[in-house]
Amino acid sequence: MSDILIIGGGVIGVCTAHELAKRGAKVMLIEQGEISSGASYGNGGLIVPSHCVPLAAPGVPLQGLKWMFNPESPFYIKPHFNFEFLEWMLLFAYASRRGPMMRALPVLSELLLSSGRIFDEIAREGGFPFGYEQKGTLAVFLTQRALDKGLEEAHLVGGFGVETRSLNGTELCELEPALRAEVAGGIHYPQDAHIDPAGFVIGLAEKAMELGVKILTHTEVMRFETEGKKINQVQTTRGDFTADQVILCAGAWSPVVLRELEINLPIQAAKGYSITLETPEISPSYPLMFPEARVVVTPFKDRLRLAGTLELAGMDFSIQSRRVDAIRTNSAKYLQGLENAKVTEIWRGLRPCTPDGLPVISRAKQFDNLIVAAGHAMLGMSLGPITGKLTSQLALGENPEMDLAPLRLERF
Ligand SMILES: Cc1cc2nc3c(=O)[nH]c(=O)nc-3n(C[C@H](O)[C@H](O)[C@H](O)COP(=O)(O)OP(=O)(O)OC[C@H]3O[C@@H](n4cnc5c(N)ncnc54)[C@H](O)[C@@H]3O)c2cc1C
């Protein structure tokens, strides 16, 4: 029997397992595939305190509806009418008003800035390479109108501890010569960083194993045996397990697992794609964000990754080639040198999105020994380390270092 059983081997489950093992807990982690085979595999790897404006923001639902019939749009809501989706859309529309957004913003910025500091500590401790580099990100705009909107957002997040520096087109191209001269300008966010996401999760899982964490891969959690307010047993495709506490970190699959416990968690999967290229001859040295195209570009040691699009289409793993192609075509409007770069991998992943853009880090009131850590949407890599810390503080009965009330499960 373990003290703690974690379901899900993505960034959230692995950060939680590592943190708990550091504090001496006996931990088992169960993963249905390989470690980091879900959304934590091929994402942009950006660690972005600058992204503290939640997805649920004024104008976003309307933009999604406008783009509904465009097969190349970077934000797409697939019409599908089940109860969970309609409930989620209503909650999303409600959370997208200015009031709720302004309440979510300081919560996200505190989480993101704390997590960024932990990444820095992990990198300084060394032990495994994960491509950590903190030179900031550059948000780049093609039109003056979009730049003005970007500067407004920079001003807003600047009020919550995010450092920003605006750059005109010439300054931007001097800093990042791979950009096309036509860009209107941009913003440098120096506290941002970037990592190799799968390298980080797999490396940290190995460190956790050295600290005693038992990891079972290719093992799927199917059901639970419960008694009153207690989960007695976790039943998997490879046997049944018991533990004092169960922590659910199953990303976009979390609502499916919780359904077995008759708990409703409004998380919708938001599919995104990445295209990984061999490093082109002209390649950026800064991670870049193109808000008009909703694409991010991350330079790794020997690769360049373009990532983007957000498709609310349920648990759908199909690859929509036109949207994938649009990521590359749109990136080429900002960047030189992409035309002949060889593709090494096309990937899709499902972001676990709550309707209000905040994750759930919470005990479940239905069971005394269940904790949920899920719903990190577009920020799961950035928020992994702080989530691991807060979740382990909850599990060990300590006072969490941040107020977790805005992240509780019962808020929906
Ligand atoms: C295109 C794209 C780009 C992105 N870019 C960034 C970025 O630049 N920066 C950033 O911060 N975030 C980014 N994200 C978001 C980030 O990838 C996610 O928020 C994060 O990976 C979620 O981590 P997770 O551990 O919650 O979920 P996952 O990584 O999906 O892990 C959940 C795990 O649970 C397992 N599981 C599910 N059900 C079961 C079961 N029944 N039994 C056992 N195991 C189970 C799954 O197999 C999976 O491995 C991006 C996402 C996408 C799609």
Nearest CA among 166, 151, 158 for reference residue 113: 158
The β-bridge partners of 262 are: none
Ligand 1 atom 25, closest CA: 10
**Ligand 1 pocket, 380 CB below 6 A?**
yes
Tell which phi-psi region holds residue 50, choosing left (phi > 0), alpha (psi between -120 and 50) or beta. alpha
Which domains does the chain carry? Answer: 2-41+199-264+357-411 (3.50.50.60), 48-99+132-193+267-353 (3.30.9.10)
Task: Look at ligand 1, atom 14, and give the residue with the nearest C-alpha.
Answer: 378
- Which backbone phi and psi does 335 adopt, to 5 degrees? -115, 140
Residue 257: CB within 6 Å of ligand 1? yes
Answer yes or no: is the C-beta of 193 below 6 A from any ligand 1 atom. no
Strands 27-30 and 214-216: parallel
Place of tokens 């805005």: 406
Average model confidence (pLDDT) for the chain?
95
Burial class of residue 262 (count of CB atoms within 10 Å of its CB; 0-12, 13-18, 19+) = exposed
- If one residue of 202, 224, 351 were mutated to test the ligand 1 pocket, choosing by the most ligand atoms within 8 A of its CB, it would be 351
Q: Is 351 in the pocket of ligand 1 (CB under 6 A)?
A: yes
Pairwise CA distance, residues 287 & 263, whole Å: 39
Cα(19)–Cα(120) distance, integer angstroms: 15
Position in ligand 1 atom list of the atom nearest CA 373? 26
pLDDT, one tens digit per residue, over 18-77 is 999 999 999 999 999 999 999 999 999 999 999 999 988 898 888 777 777 677 777 888
Residues 97/89, Cβ–Cβ less than 8 Å: no
Our answer on whether the CB atom of 309 is closer than 6 Å to any ligand 1 atom is no
Check if 376 has its Cβ closer than 6 Å to any atom of ligand 1. Answer: yes
Nearest atom of ligand 1 to the alpha carbon of 349:
53
Average pLDDT over residues 123-147: 95
Contact criterion met (CB below 8 Å) for 310 and 56: no
Tokens of 110: 């505190």
pLDDT of 322 reads 92
If you count them, how many residues does the chain have?
412
Q: How far is the CA of 8 from the centre of ligand 1 (A)?
A: 9
Amino acid occupying residue 28: M
d(CA 142, CA 286): 17
Strands 214-216 and 75-77, bridge-based pairing: unpaired
pLDDT digits (tens, 9 = 90+) for 351-366: 999 999 999 999 999 9
Q: Which residue has the tokens 């969490």?
A: 400
Instruction: Tell me, in angstroms, the distance from the centre of ligand 1 to residue 349's CA.
Output: 7
32 within ligand 1 shell (Cβ under 6 A): yes
Determine the average pLDDT of the residues in 166-193: 97
CA of 108 to the centre of ligand 1 (A): 18
Name the residue of 14, 259, 381 whose CB sits within 8 Å of the most ligand 1 atoms, as the mutation to test its pocket.
381
Mean pLDDT for the stretch of residues 122-139: 95
Residue 285: the pLDDT is 97
What's the rounded Cα separation, in Å, for the pair 123 and 410? 35
- Residue 1: the pLDDT is 60
Q: Which of 222, 254, 376, 383 to mutate to test the pocket of ligand 1 (most atoms within 8 A of CB)?
A: 376
> Does the beta carbon of 311 lie inside 6 Å of ligand 1?
no
Tell me how far apart the alpha carbons of residues 393 and 143 are, in angstroms, rounded to a whole number.
46
SS3 annotation, the chain: CEEEEEECCCHHHHHHHHHHHHCCCCEEEECCCCCCCCCCCCCCCEECCCCCCCCCCCCHHHHHHHCCCCCCCCEEECCCCCHHHHHHHHHHHHHCCHHHHHHHHHHHHHHHHHHHHHHHHHHHHCCCCCCCECCCEEEEECCHHHHHHHHHHHHHHHCCCCCCEEEEHHHHHHHCCCECCCCCEEEEECCCEECCHHHHHHHHHHHHHHCCCEEECCCCEEEEEEECCEEEEEEECCEEECEEEEEECCHHHHHHHHHCCCCCCCCEEEEEEEEEEECCCCCCCCCEEECCCCEEEEECCCEEEEEEEEEECCCCCCCCHHHHHHHHHHHCCCECCCCCCCEEEEEEEEEEECCCCCCEEEECCCCCCEEEEECEHHHHHHHHHHHHHHHHHHHCCCCCCCCCHHHCHHHC
pTM above 0.95, yes or no: yes
From atom 26 of ligand 1, which residue's Cα is the shortest distance away?
A: 251
Over residues 324-358, the pLDDT tens digits come to 999 999 999 999 989 889 999 999 999 999 999 99
Whether residue 44 has its Cβ less than 6 Å from ligand 1 = yes
pLDDT tier at 275, thresholds 50, 70, 90: very high
The rounded Cα 114 to chain-centroid distance in angstroms is 15
pLDDT for position 327: 96
